[in-house]
Amino acid sequence: MSKVKSSETVKVVVRCRPLNRKEAAGVTGTPGGKGGIVEMDVHRGQVVLRNPHALPGEPQKTFTFDSVYDASSKQRDLYDETVRPLIHSVLDGFNGTIFAYGQTGTGKTYTMQGAWLEPERRGVIPNAFEHVFTQISRSAADRQYLVRASYLEIYREEIRDLLDPNVHAPHVPNVHTQPPHILELRESPESGVYVRDLTSCVCKSVKEIEELMNVGNQVRSVGATDMNEHSSRSHTLFLITVECSQTGPEGRQHIRVGRLNLVDLAGSERQAKTGVHGERLKEAAKINLSLSALGNVISALADGRSGHVPYRDSKLTRLLQDSLGGNAKTVMVATLGPAPQHYEETLTTLRYANRAKNIKNQPRVNEDPKDALLREFQKEIARLRAQLSHREGRGKHRKEDGCDGEGDEEGEEEVEKERNLQEERLEEEKEAIREDGSLLAVEKQRLLGEKEIMMGDLRKERDTTEQLTAKYKVMESKLLVGGRNILDHTNEQQKTLEKRRQEIAEQSRREREILQQVMVQDEETLELRETFSSLQQEVEAKTKKLKKLYARLQCVKAEIQDVNDEHVRSRQELEQTQNELTRELKFKYLIIENFIPPEEKNKIMNRLTFDPEEDQWKFQLLPPSESQMKKRLASAVGYKRPISQYARVALAMGAHSRYRAENIMFLELDMSPPTTVSLDHWPSEVGPNCSPSPTDNAPYRERATRVRKSRSWCQAPRAITSSSSTVSLATHSTATPSTAQ
Ligand code: ADP
Ligand code: MG
């Protein structure tokens, strides 16, 4: 099913950025010298690191890599020499991964993305986009391609889909921004580790894929630290899947699927140097945790002796499982800063990069996988085409003896013409029926109805065909045909220039390889060929050799010391993290023991289950049962809220207003008749006990009304004479005076 290829090692290249202005001001006059502490021999692929606090006589540290790129290197150099061959492999059906690794602010994002708008400073990702589509446009015409892209980030150990259609980019006005969905990792024997439900978008051009990246970048988590103003706070992975189908010599279609992972890691950072606190500190802890997990995976793979590779320690390492020690061709770009104050971090990066050189992968061509989307597309397109030609055939049949025209477009036009003709004919027939005086009215109606139905059928058929044609065209436009869909805008001169550049890159790569081989062989064979003419000469040569070996011994000793120091340091950091976590755990236990009743705690504990796929504890959903989830009472008919039997009876009896679920206030007009008193008789009517003065006259009525009304509120139910449930306050007020008077 898939061709097995011999194993190959991870390709490791190192890139050093120039000193920035802040560093340059501090560096001049330091032992690091003007150019910082990193020196590079581009021809040999060597990096020499100078310790700014070295004791006299301490040897410098030298590392050799597949390629090295110094501060003056161009983005193009790295691309042509290191990335281009990988993209070719992806187009041939291999999995490929490029990831940048290094301290914060050393140029990982610059290498991977660069400045998009300046052609000279465009990074690996935009160049790869351009490359993939240009390559497709130049490929043979018998090849069909389907290009898909996905974009995700790992933020605080959570995988987020950056192209989730529900997460609208903030630039879209009036649209509510939601946090991206958190996705789960899954593993299958067919496609290895994958992210479940990850959005994947079909792209037909560089512009479309760039647009996708833009959309994703707007949702990405970034934040400023002291070391980098736009520090990436998450690891991001842009995944391009290129499916290519080609007819084999035996006449069968073969599909090859290449996946390209473009990874921009968040930087490793020391808390003290980046000056982060609070949320940023928590982020940093997670970033460092996953990076140290990556370091452990690299160490375990490079060691080769340890059977267990801790891929499951972090999401990042699980995602990169295939890229490190699996089915992929991998390029690691280790980025360095030349400033002396970051000597330790630079050394650590170089050590990891050096170890990664020993990782062996087993890349193979992914041929005819079951889940190839291209095959689904081709099947769907064939089905639509068959449906369309069937319709065309029917159209032609109707036209009686139509000859079998081949061209799709021509056929479509012919059928359309035929349909129009039929419609016109039906219209004419309808007209004739209407004007025919010899027909009975009923008969006329029936015939007209029949014609109308025929017209309807014709229209329906036309609509369906139009829909099918549109769908067919959309599906077909998504497939890229070699040398057809995308136009290659580069002219011949540019093409030749590009070719020359590639050749030069290839040649310098080969030269470096040979030079490195010669260096190794020299050391091994020199002593074999030596013959000595005198004892003196032998002593001299052996002393020289002894000195050399002694120097090497010192180097190894220093290396051991360094590794020990580093080990102690990372152990201290881990202990610190452990202490913090223990403290937090104790605090949580304290809360649980003192504030959560034991039965509640037990209920929660019983609901916990361990998910081995996700490697974490999860809450089980409660099964909906009668006892646990009481159903809300259904509303009584005619009432908005549930109402008890007692309240219903009380309401019918016209009892206290508290039984009314709603409208407890009645705001009807006060219909009580006006109390009019004749001015001439009022003193005698009021009675002898009350002797108001003539000046009290006006307020009297008002007071009386008020008193009466307020009395009505505390009336016992018996005082309410009306039996209707819609007794108003107004009625109470009229009823009361009658009892009071
Ligand atoms: P990282 O992603 O590693 O945290 P960045 O890529 O954001 O770091 O780089 C930090 C700064 O250094 C940016 O301003 C970037 O432009 C600059 N830089 C990095 N590498 C280079 C380089 N090779 N040449 C010029 N500038 C660089
Ligand atoms: Mg970055």
> What residues does 232 pair with on adjacent strands?
222
| Gap between the Cα atoms of 304 and 130, Å rounded | 38
Span from the CA of 335 to the centroid of ligand 1 (angstroms): 9
Query: How far is residue 409 CA from its own chain's centroid?
Result: 41
Residue 109 Cβ inside 6 Å of ligand 1? The answer reads yes
Q: Taking residues 2-23, what's their average pLDDT?
A: 81
pLDDT at residue 28, as a whole number: 55
Confidence of residue 68 (pLDDT cuts 50, 70, 90): very high
pLDDT tens, residue by residue, 111-137? 999 998 888 999 999 999 999 998 888
Residue nearest to atom 1 of ligand 1 (CA): 105
Q: Taking residues 631-655, what's their average pLDDT?
A: 72
111 in Cβ contact with 158 (< 8 Å): no
pLDDT at residue 166, as a whole number: 77
Ligand 1, pocket-test mutation among 13, 17, 68, most atoms within 8 A of CB: 17
Residues 6+ apart with CB under 8 A from 284: 269, 271, 274, 276
pLDDT tens, residue by residue, 512-540? 889 888 888 877 666 666 677 788 888 88
Residue nearest to atom 9 of ligand 1 (CA): 107
Q: How far is CA 16 from CA 24, 67, 298, 630, 721, in A?
A: 14, 12, 21, 65, 97
pLDDT at residue 737, as a whole number: 39
Span from the CA of 265 to the centroid of ligand 2 (angstroms): 7
Residue 327 Cβ inside 6 Å of ligand 1? The answer reads no
What radius of gyration, in Å, describes the C-alpha atoms of the chain? Answer: 42
Residue 340 Cβ inside 6 Å of ligand 1? The answer reads no
Percentage with pLDDT > 90 across the chain: 21
* Predicted confidence (pLDDT) at residue 217 exceeds the cutoff of 50: yes
If you average pLDDT over every residue of the chain, what do you get?
A: 77
Ligand 1 atom at minimum distance from 231 CA: 4
pLDDT at residue 344, as a whole number: 85
Asked if residue 411 belongs to a known ligand binding site, the reply is no
Any idea which ligand is nearest the CA of 334? 1
233 in Cβ contact with 155 (< 8 Å): yes
pLDDT tens, residue by residue, 268-283? 655 444 444 555 556 5
Ligand 1, pocket-test mutation among 101, 110, 124, most atoms within 8 A of CB: 110
733 in Cβ contact with 712 (< 8 Å): yes
Percentage with pLDDT > 70 across the chain: 72
pLDDT at residue 259, as a whole number: 92
Q: Taking residues 141-161, what's their average pLDDT?
A: 89
Span from the CA of 307 to the centroid of ligand 2 (angstroms): 33
Higher pLDDT, 723 or 362: 362
Ligand 1 atom at minimum distance from 264 CA: 2
Q: Taking residues 284-307, what's their average pLDDT?
A: 79
Confidence of residue 664 (pLDDT cuts 50, 70, 90): low
pLDDT at residue 659, as a whole number: 72
Residue 106 Cβ inside 6 Å of ligand 1? The answer reads yes
Q: How far is CA 177 from CA 155, 172, 218, in A?
A: 18, 9, 11
Residue 18 Cβ inside 6 Å of ligand 1? The answer reads yes
Residue nearest to atom 22 of ligand 1 (CA): 17
Among 142-151, 246-255, 323-332, the least confident range: 246-255
Higher pLDDT, 140 or 709: 140
Residue positions counted in the chain? 741
Span from the CA of 105 to the centroid of ligand 1 (angstroms): 6
* Predicted confidence (pLDDT) at residue 553 exceeds the cutoff of 60: yes
360 in Cβ contact with 11 (< 8 Å): no
Ligand 1 atom at minimum distance from 104 CA: 4
Ligand 1 atom at minimum distance from 267 CA: 4
Span from the CA of 716 to the centroid of ligand 2 (angstroms): 79
Confidence of residue 396 (pLDDT cuts 50, 70, 90): low
* Predicted confidence (pLDDT) at residue 462 exceeds the cutoff of 80: yes
Ligand 1 atom at minimum distance from 106 CA: 3
Residue 512 Cβ inside 6 Å of ligand 1? The answer reads no
Residue nearest to atom 18 of ligand 1 (CA): 107
* Predicted confidence (pLDDT) at residue 502 exceeds the cutoff of 50: yes
pLDDT at residue 665, as a whole number: 65
Any idea which ligand is nearest the CA of 335? 1
Higher pLDDT, 650 or 232: 650
Span from the CA of 89 to the centroid of ligand 2 (angstroms): 26
* Predicted confidence (pLDDT) at residue 560 exceeds the cutoff of 70: yes
Asked if residue 107 belongs to a known ligand binding site, the reply is yes
Query: How far is residue 602 CA from its own chain's centroid?
Result: 37
* Predicted confidence (pLDDT) at residue 422 exceeds the cutoff of 70: yes
Which position has the token pair 């994002």? 109
Report residue 506 as tokens: 């290839």
Confidence of residue 637 (pLDDT cuts 50, 70, 90): low
* Predicted confidence (pLDDT) at residue 694 exceeds the cutoff of 50: no
Long-range residue pairs from 613-621, CB within 8 A, at least 24 positions apart, any chain: 613/184, 613/185, 613/186, 613/187, 614/184, 614/185, 615/312
Residues 6+ apart with CB under 8 A from 205: 133, 486
Q: Taking residues 86-107, what's their average pLDDT?
A: 92
Confidence of residue 587 (pLDDT cuts 50, 70, 90): very high
Q: Taking residues 206-219, what's their average pLDDT?
A: 89
Q: Taking residues 414-423, what's their average pLDDT?
A: 77
Run of H or E residues at 271: helix 271-274
* Predicted confidence (pLDDT) at residue 627 exceeds the cutoff of 70: no
Residue nearest to atom 16 of ligand 1 (CA): 110
pLDDT at residue 383, as a whole number: 87
pTM (predicted TM-score): 0.70
